[in-house]
Structure 1
Amino acid sequence: MTAPEEPPLTGPRLDYGPANDADGTRVVRAGLPAEEPYEPPLPGPVFAAHYHLPGEVEGAPYAYGRDANPTWSRLEQALAELEAPGDPDAEVITFSSGMGAISAVLFSLARPGQTVVLPSDGYNQLAEMRERLEGLGVQVRTARTGGDAQLAEVDEDVSLLWLETPCNPGLDVCDIRKLADAAHERGALVAVDNTLATPLGQRPLLLGADISVASGTKALTGHGDVLLGYVATRNQQVAAAVRAWRKTVGAIPGPMEAWLAHRSLATLDVRTQRQAGNALAVAEALTARPEVRDVRHPGLSDDPSHPLAARQMSRYGCVVSFTLADEAHANRFLSQLRLVDNATSFGGVRSTAERRGRWGGDQVPDGFIRLSVGVEDSADLVTDIRRALDEAAG
């Protein structure tokens, strides 16, 4: 008799509270104010450097434009509802970019003499972060995502464990719950870069992490026209430190960017569902090509990360990675694509791809391709990719 399949650790039908709304309903209404007659459901962006401020500053909801803005407040409330549904202690602090959010966590929480563990195969700007942290007297260790490498680095000296899962661009997955439990036993905080999964694909705070960080530039907003980042946490001390960092360095989001991000949340569920399905179809088509090596997507049943991803994630994301023979082969392939733009970033409604080696910061082969799958018709995408591969081979 076979054992029953283990249920997902997070997913779209967890008990979120009395309403128990599914994600598709939640994202449409997240962060909206109470209905007012003849007013728009989502009020427009508030452009203000200062506000009328009678009396004392303490307790004032809005006093100065670097501290708070009603447009950010609505977006932050919406994101808190998605990152930790039904939890009144969840807080979100938005930033002008994903790097603003990453920097705020690392530089507000890490102190000289403390030790931070970063992924060695994560977002390439983490290498820059390592240099800056070490320059401030912070000890930095690195470990590859997945397996026991990260677990081996977590000891009593570590104050912050930084995870990225799935990691970018290699798409390996690590066990958030297992690593968070180990880190907490040793007194460390755990932050998870959740950019690729989005809060509809994975909820780090519900898996034991202290902090969830994401670039809203990617799938969260999904249209390639906004730079944004955010930090989510249920730890009040962490939230205060991160918010103070934002105020000090002025890494605030613009009201128009915040409003565009909130507007885009309404389609997050349908976009990411479609993208995940398209990405799996593309990945399966790529595995059938003899000239394509090392196809990775957590949704592939034979992907090394699939068993854990199936337990930890409720959808597998839009990114597919694979390798062609060399730089020239990869560039020929990219030049022949009709429906896939040669561009960096990922998560947009329009498919994009690039040879990651051109940036010089990722430890990948010269022919390594990161493909972000959009919402186009999946059959058209597969046809275009197959044709471009044929042309590149010829």
Structure 2
Amino acid sequence: MSDVTEHHDGTRCVRAGLPEPAPGQPFLPGPVFAAPYHLDPWTGPAAAPDGYGRPDNPTRRLLEAAVGELEGGDCRVFASGQAAITGLLLTLLRPGDTVVLPSDGYFAVRAFAADTLEGIGVRVLLAPTAGPHPAFDGVRLVLLETPANPGLDVADVAALAARAHAAGALVAVDNTTATPLGQRPLDLGADVVVASGTKALTGHSDLLLGYVATRSPELRDAVTAWRNVTGAVPGAFDAWLAHRSLATLDLRLARQTANAQALAGLLAGRDDVTGLRWPGLPGDPAHPVAAVQMRRIPGVLCFDLGDAGRVARFLDAARLVAAATSFGGLHTTADRRAQWGDDTPPGFVRLSCGVEDAVDLVADVTAALDASR
């Protein structure tokens, strides 16, 4: 595998995790579908890297190498983002431990904490992404999600990691919204990165994926052991699709960010839209930290249309904005988060920019907003 660490983002995405070229072989080998593999009758599994499909799969390893190159650490992929983050939490936390979670982050993580972590004796503290954060004395793990989903606040990873480490706590960063091209939390002092690869990382709205990345061999081995015994692995075809999709990550993010900037400019000028958030706007509360910490701003923004009825009218009128949950795909989508039980106002919308032409997207959103008044 070639060393691409000195290259720029587009080159790194195209080359990440590819094996050395071999005559007659494809650039990215096709998925290997196997539950058991042939074993050596004398030495058993010691003779080859693959013995059984749950812990072993060459397609999965190539994807892990690729994501690991982009994040700057060792990677283990999971069947979904939720499998990755719950696996990480249950790997690290024991009864009596304390964890700090974002109060404004992905609601399913808070639900898991309330239903499962507290049920096994883990003390759960919640803090807003932008702070204030509690003292970290006696805390085992601080989980940051930045930018937060869905409100897009940004945490100062380097400052919080320094505080947490001084108190003896580990720091994990959910890098789903930013992707490793938007920020590299391990470079900022985080101990471990967790993310959903379902969203912008793979970007085609056709697979579920999660991953954990770290530079600590101990953390890597512990997460690997958890995944192997629980079986939370992605299928070979999903792993292959994800690796294929990484090649266009830089291109997709560039267009999505440009579209978000264009839409943020439109929405900022309308008196019938409130609560606009996009960290790329100079006036956004998250902008000062994001401008220093992030290498690019994601193509996701949020705003409020007042009530559920107007959101529905807006989506009915739009031709280029689909009603759908998740984000980061090729197609522009909008999601009224309150319908999922998220703690947001009834008219709150998270809009994920696709790769359509900005002029078309701006015209469509303008017309849909006008029609929804």
Q: TM-score, normalised by structure 2?
A: 0.97
Aligned amino acid, residue 27 of structure 2: P
- 2:56 and 2:111 map into 1 onto residues whose CA distance is 29
Aligned amino acid, residue 34 of structure 1: E
- 1:127 and 1:79 map into 2 onto residues whose CA distance is 26
Match of 1:280 among 261, 282, 288: 261
Q: Give percent identity, aligned residues only.
A: 57
Q: Secondary structure at the match of 2:35?
A: coil
Q: Which moved more, 1:48-57 or 1:158-167?
A: 48-57
**Matched residue, 2:243:** 262
Does residue 65 of structure 1 match 2:53?
yes
**Matched residue, 2:129:** 145
**Matched residue, 1:355:** 336
**Matched residue, 2:229:** 248
Q: Secondary structure at the match of 1:214?
A: strand
Does residue 108 of structure 1 match 2:91?
yes
Counterparts in 2 of 1:115 and 1:345: CA distance versus 1, 3 Å: same
Aligned amino acid, residue 68 of structure 2: A
Q: How many residues align?
A: 369
Match of 1:383 among 363, 369, 372: 363
- 2:5 and 2:74 map into 1 onto residues whose CA distance is 21
The answer to whether the 8 A contact 1:95-1:252 is kept is yes
Q: Cα offset for 1:24?
A: 0.7
Counterparts in 2 of 1:144 and 1:18: CA distance versus 1, 3 Å: closer
- 2:147 and 2:245 map into 1 onto residues whose CA distance is 23
Aligned amino acid, residue 243 of structure 2: H
- 2:32 and 2:196 map into 1 onto residues whose CA distance is 22
The answer to whether the 8 A contact 2:130-2:154 is kept is yes
Match of 2:275 among 287, 294, 316: 294
Aligned amino acid, residue 71 of structure 2: E
The answer to whether the 8 A contact 1:334-1:354 is kept is no
Q: Which moved more, 1:19-28 or 1:110-119?
A: 19-28
- 1:58 and 1:298 map into 2 onto residues whose CA distance is 51
Match of 1:365 among 333, 345, 359: 345
Q: Map 1:314-353; keep pairs closer than 5 Å.
A: 314-353=295-334
The answer to whether the 8 A contact 1:154-1:161 is kept is no
Per-residue CA shift, 1:302-333, capped at 9, x if unaligned? 11101110101011101110001212122211
Aligned amino acid, residue 125 of structure 1: A
Match of 1:214 among 195, 201, 221: 195
**Matched residue, 2:68:** 80
Counterparts in 2 of 1:18 and 1:30: CA distance versus 1, 3 Å: closer
Q: Cα offset for 1:56?
A: 4.2
Q: Secondary structure at the match of 2:171?
A: strand
- 2:264 and 2:229 map into 1 onto residues whose CA distance is 44
**Matched residue, 2:23:** 37
The answer to whether the 8 A contact 2:150-2:302 is kept is yes
The answer to whether the 8 A contact 2:331-2:354 is kept is yes
**Matched residue, 1:162:** 143
- 2:348 and 2:46 map into 1 onto residues whose CA distance is 53
Q: Cα offset for 1:53?
A: 2.2
**Matched residue, 2:103:** 120
Q: Secondary structure at the match of 2:275?
A: strand
**Matched residue, 2:10:** 24
- 1:18 and 1:273 map into 2 onto residues whose CA distance is 20
- 2:155 and 2:61 map into 1 onto residues whose CA distance is 32
Q: Cα offset for 1:83?
A: 0.4
Dislocated runs of 4+, deviation >4 Å: none
RMSD of the alignment, in Å? 1.3
Per-residue CA shift, 1:202-249, capped at 9, x if unaligned? 100010001111101000110100100000001111111111111111
Aligned amino acid, residue 339 of structure 2: R
Q: Cα offset for 1:157?
A: 1.1
The answer to whether the 8 A contact 2:5-2:69 is kept is no
Q: Cα offset for 1:61?
A: 1.6
- 1:201 and 1:81 map into 2 onto residues whose CA distance is 14
Q: Cα offset for 1:102?
A: 0.5
Q: Secondary structure at the match of 1:207?
A: coil
Q: Cα offset for 1:59?
A: 7.3
- 1:277 and 1:103 map into 2 onto residues whose CA distance is 33
The answer to whether the 8 A contact 2:4-2:15 is kept is no
- 1:310 and 1:347 map into 2 onto residues whose CA distance is 21
Structure 2 residues without counterparts, runs of 5 or longer: none
Counterparts in 2 of 1:364 and 1:59: CA distance versus 1, 3 Å: farther
